[in-house]
Amino acid sequence: MHSDQASHAAERGPAVIFWLWLTATFGGLALMLVIVVVSL
Amino acid sequence: MRRTLRENGLSLFFLVLFLLALGGQAVAGYFREAEELHEHGRSPADLVSFVFSPDFVVDVAENWQSEFLQFFLFIAATVWLVQRGSPESKKPGDEGLESDASQRVGAHAPTDAPSWAKAGGWRTALYGNSLLIMMGSAFVLSWLVQSLGGTIVAGEESAMHGLPSPTWVEYVLSADFWDRTLQNWQSEFLAVGTMVAFSIYLRQRGSAESKPVGTPHAVSAVESE
């Protein structure tokens, strides 16, 4: 990989991590909420 | 690729641990559920059905809510309360929301600051509390999921014994709901308290959660910077 591309990818890392955790947390909560609401 | 993995290793390490533990909980919970159903002369559903059932959801949610409450309270409490000598705390005298200059917002924001830190008004106020808002939202949502899931599970158990199912309000006021809730809360508060107190006198060389080894006991990491 070109050094500029590598640097760009490294800068994007924290943003990817942030959205990954946010999606996992609130996606998981939304899924659990749907499961219990449809089971009520 | 290796650089990206190295620079994000802390988050990825815990993501892998989380997924492994969640998977393990699903399998162990499935076998526990199967044993209970077998004792009542009923056959268990498959693993996927168990994972998407209120029984599994309530077990996951009751732990999630206590973790998010822990961080919500830790973030909020460390604004207003201090512990001299702990690297988890600001130094005595710095309690409160601090000045715009020390928080580098509005006119005091550097050029490379997040745009909402520079914007001023409601956007800076919202962004300045965004971590607490997200942790609080996750806590409220997961506690709601625990209460709804618990209502369903309690209803299933009541039906097995020929008793009427509780309403959501009845379940939220029940001993089972508060037993599940408080047994998680007490462990979280213990863990946070020990982290704050132990780190006054104890060290872990190289850890961001510890003061440097040679830092005096009465000095926090914030003070030594």
Average pLDDT over residues B158-174: 95
Residues 6+ apart with CB under 8 A from B95: B79, B80, B81, B82
Verify whether the Cβ–Cβ distance A26 to B138 is below 8 Å. Answer: yes
Start-end of H helices in B81-119: 100-103, 115-119
Q: What is the ipTM of this complex?
A: 0.90
**Residue closest to B106 by CA, chosen among B127, B122, B120, B87:** B120
Residue in B1, B3, B148 closest to A40 by CB: B148
8 A C-beta contact, residue B224 and residue B215 = yes
* pTM of the predicted model over 0.95: no
| pLDDT of the residue at B224 | 41
Which residues of chain A does B149 touch, with a Cβ-Cβ cutoff of 8 Å?
32, 35-36, 39
Cβ-defined contact of A40 to B53 (cutoff 8 Å): no
User: From the candidates A35, A37, A38, A40, which should be mutated to test the interface with B, based on the most B CB atoms within 10 A?
Assistant: A35
For chain B, the residue count is 225
Is the Cβ pair A21, B11 closer than 8 Å?
A: yes
- Tell me what pLDDT residue A2 has: 64
Q: Do B141 and A29 touch (CB under 8 A)?
A: yes
Establish if B171 touches chain A: CB-CB under 8 angstroms: no
Candidates A4, A20, A39, A40, partner chain B, best to mutate (most B CBs within 10 A): A39
The pLDDT of residue A8 is 73
Span B137-149, average pLDDT: 98
Reported as a single tens digit per residue, the pLDDT across A4-39 is 776 777 778 999 999 999 999 999 999 999 999 999
Q: Do B138 and A25 touch (CB under 8 A)?
A: yes
Is residue B94 scored above 90 in pLDDT? Answer: yes
Whole-number pLDDT of residue B39: 87
Q: Tell me the average pLDDT across B150-165.
A: 94
Query: How far is B192 from A17, CA to CA, in rounded Å?
Result: 25
- With CA atoms as reference, the chain A residue closest to B152 would be A40
